[in-house]
């Protein structure tokens, strides 16, 4: 096992789990051994009322958040200290306006223009989507998760732009795309995105539901139940998919030195992701245990700062590792003529000697794997070399095979349909129409004409 992967699996992952257990244990101790004071206050969200004491349960008059009961001793002192620091300092406000917001908007902007506007040379597709998902998570939280926006309509909590359950699959497919020479996204791969789609549908339904229905789905006047579950689900998704991806690196490191740059990047990528996971889990657990998921600005402040560092770091890595993370799409005009000639000779030799076209289930992906290249690359080379698409090119060979079999007297016992199937055609109607289009006659007419000449 690669040393870096061993460190992640044997040390960082257990540390992540232990941190959750330790913080939960501390919370349990607090609940069992530290009694409430009978005084209620606003959760430390950074609003102007989080230092005001209340004798009864209720809601903060400044941010309308549910009041929580104070705990005695150290926890009370910590809460008051944090609230005072945030209320009395402008540092966190300036960090939001100068760092957090620009980074989140920049992440969405960079990912979108990379996918839709710079197709010839862009950031690896799954990495671009990964950046967008993180950025949208941060932006949505800012829309309904800070003291600046607590007076927004509850409807904003259900805007369908949160896709945390896609983080794990996107990281996984980013790894596969870099490590596998013949990677192609298959139909079954879409199954990995079902949880993310389910989240999107939930938010869509709730967003267009009645106000009463939306209110019924809230954990408090601040957090929907689903937001809590989604965040812990996002953490679990990343941990599981990252562990699977690390196993991919372990399989490659010993045998494929040519993937050295890719594996080095992915190892650093996983370390960075585990760092933000550790901060995220710590914030979530503290918020759940000590503040009943009612704290926003203070407990999440370190997450947004860490996320910004993480996003900037990915941006720097993209430009430092341009050969790995900036992918150029196939452009036939840039392909050297000698390269095209070599390709023509190679594919012609395979088609004539091995006859892969006789497989009725032959696909672009199958032939690309046989040739040791990516499907998109093969499609581009066929188009540049023969001015045809994949199926036109393959069907030409099938047609010539049918012609040879029709005039072969040893094949006289076979029906025309059987001959077509032997050549690789899997549809009688498609074969008949294609044959007549290319030859100007039906297969039967061609056979009769050949027999008369013979």
Name the nearest CA neighbour of 329 among 121, 180, 179.
Answer: 121
Residue 148 has pLDDT above 50, yes or no: no
More confident residue, 36 or 228: 228
Judge contact between 346 and 393, C-beta under 8 A: no
Name the nearest CA neighbour of 232 among 429, 403, 24.
Answer: 24
Section 433-450 average pLDDT: 87
Find residue 69's DSSP bridge partners.
Answer: 40
Q: Percent of the chain having pLDDT more than 90?
A: 8
Which residue pairs from 432-436 have beta carbons closer than 8 angstroms and sit at least 24 positions apart in sequence?
434/395, 434/399, 435/399, 435/402
The 10s digit of each residue's pLDDT in 21-51 is 554 454 445 455 545 556 777 765 556 666 6
Can you give the pLDDT at residue 273? 92
Section 176-180 average pLDDT: 81
More confident residue, 454 or 275: 275
Residue 331 has pLDDT above 60, yes or no: no
Section 116-127 average pLDDT: 69
Section 138-154 average pLDDT: 62
Alpha-carbon distances, residue 450 vs 136, 205, 297 (angstroms): 67, 66, 84
Can you give the pLDDT at residue 209? 81
Can you give the pLDDT at residue 430? 83
Q: List, in sequence order, every beta strand (DSSP E) within 113-223.
A: 121-123
The 10s digit of each residue's pLDDT in 295-326 is 655 567 788 889 999 999 988 888 787 766 76
Residue 269 has pLDDT above 80, yes or no: yes
Instruction: Report helix, strand or coil for 286.
Output: helix
Residue 117 has pLDDT above 70, yes or no: no
Q: Percent of the chain having pLDDT more than 70?
A: 66
Lowest mean pLDDT among 30-44, 265-279, 428-442: 30-44
Can you give the pLDDT at residue 167? 92
Can you give the pLDDT at residue 77? 58
Q: Which fold has domain 339-453?
A: Arc Repressor Mutant, subunit A (1.10.10)
Section 426-430 average pLDDT: 85
Lowest mean pLDDT among 158-162, 191-195, 417-421: 158-162
Name the nearest CA neighbour of 293 among 45, 99, 20.
Answer: 45
Longest dimension (CA), the chain: 108
Residue 55 has pLDDT above 50, yes or no: yes
The 10s digit of each residue's pLDDT in 206-225 is 888 887 777 666 654 445 55
- CATH node for 3-33+90-328: 1.20.1070
Residue 334 has pLDDT above 70, yes or no: no
Can you give the pLDDT at residue 292? 61
Residue 170 has pLDDT above 90, yes or no: yes
More confident residue, 398 or 374: 398
Domain ranges of the chain: 3-33+90-328, 36-89, 339-453
Can you give the pLDDT at residue 309? 92
Can you give the pLDDT at residue 25? 53
Can you give the pLDDT at residue 46? 54
Find residue 224's DSSP bridge partners.
Answer: 218
Q: Specify the length of the chain in residues.
A: 454
Section 246-273 average pLDDT: 75
Residue 294 has pLDDT above 80, yes or no: no
pLDDT tier, 84 (very low <50, low <70, confident <90, very high otherwise): low
pLDDT tier, 130 (very low <50, low <70, confident <90, very high otherwise): very high
Find residue 71's DSSP bridge partners.
Answer: 36
Mean pLDDT, the chain, rounded, equals 75
pLDDT tier, 290 (very low <50, low <70, confident <90, very high otherwise): low
Can you give the pLDDT at residue 222? 44
For residues 396 and 407, what is the distance between their CA atoms, to the nearest angstrom?
17
Residue 1 has pLDDT above 50, yes or no: no
Can you give the pLDDT at residue 23? 47
For residues 135 and 328, what is the distance between their CA atoms, to the nearest angstrom?
25
More confident residue, 116 or 241: 241
Give ∠ CA 104-329-363 in degrees, rounded to 5.
Answer: 115
Can you give the pLDDT at residue 95? 74
Section 119-129 average pLDDT: 74
């Amino acid at each position: 096992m690669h040393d870096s992967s061993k460190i992640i699996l044997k040390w960082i992952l257990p540390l992540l789990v232990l941190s959750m257990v330790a913080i939960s244990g501390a919370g349990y101790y607090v609940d069992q051994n530290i009694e409430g004071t009978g005084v209620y206050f606003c959760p430390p969200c950074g609003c102007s009322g989080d230092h005001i004491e209340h004798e009864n349960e209720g809601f903060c008059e400044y941010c309308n958040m549910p009041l929580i009961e104070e705990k005695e001793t150290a926890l009370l002192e910590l809460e008051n200290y944090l609230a005072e620091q945030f209320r009395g300092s402008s540092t966190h406000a300036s960090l939001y306006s100068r760092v957090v917001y620009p980074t989140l908007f920049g992440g969405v902007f960079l990912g979108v223009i990379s996918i839709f506007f710079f197709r010839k040379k862009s950031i690896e597709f799954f990495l671009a989507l990964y950046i967008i998902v993180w950025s949208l998570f941060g932006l949505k939280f800012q829309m309904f998760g800070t003291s600046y926006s607590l007076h927004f309509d509850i409807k904003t909590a259900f805007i369908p732009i949160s896709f945390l359950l896609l983080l794990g699959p996107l990281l996984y497919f980013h790894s596969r795309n870099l490590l596998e020479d013949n990677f192609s996204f298959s139909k079954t791969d879409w199954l990995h995105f079902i949880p993310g789609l389910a989240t999107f549908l939930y938010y869509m339904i709730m967003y267009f539901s009645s106000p009463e229905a939306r209110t019924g789905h809230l954990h408090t006047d601040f957090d929907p139940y689903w937001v809590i579950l989604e965040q812990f689900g996002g953490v679990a998704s990343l941990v599981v998919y990252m562990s699977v991806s690390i196993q991919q690196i372990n399989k490659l490191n010993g045998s494929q030195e040519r993937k050295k740059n890719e594996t080095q990047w992915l190892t650093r990528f996983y370390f960075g992701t585990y760092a933000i996971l550790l901060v995220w889990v710590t914030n979530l657990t503290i918020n759940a245990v000590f503040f009943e998921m009612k704290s926003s600005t203070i407990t999440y402040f370190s997450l947004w700062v860490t996320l910004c560092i993480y996003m900037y770091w990915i941006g720097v890595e993209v430009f430092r590792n341009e050969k790995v993370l900036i992918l150029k799409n196939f452009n036939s005009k840039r392909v050297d003529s000698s390269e095209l000639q070599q390709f023509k000779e190679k594919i012609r030799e395979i088609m004539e000697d091995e006859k892969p076209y006789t497989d009725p289930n032959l696909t672009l992906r199958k032939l690309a794997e046989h040739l040791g290249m990516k499907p998109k690359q093969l499609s581009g080379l066929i188009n540049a070399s023969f001015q045809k698409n994949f199926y036109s090119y393959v069907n030409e060979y099938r047609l010539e095979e049918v012609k040879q079999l029709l005039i072969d007297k040893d094949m006289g016992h076979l029906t025309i349909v059987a001959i077509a199937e032997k050549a690789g055609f899997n549809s009688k109607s498609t074969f008949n129409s294609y044959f007549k289009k290319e030859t100007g006659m039906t297969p039967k007419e061609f056979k009769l004409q050949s027999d008369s000449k013979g």
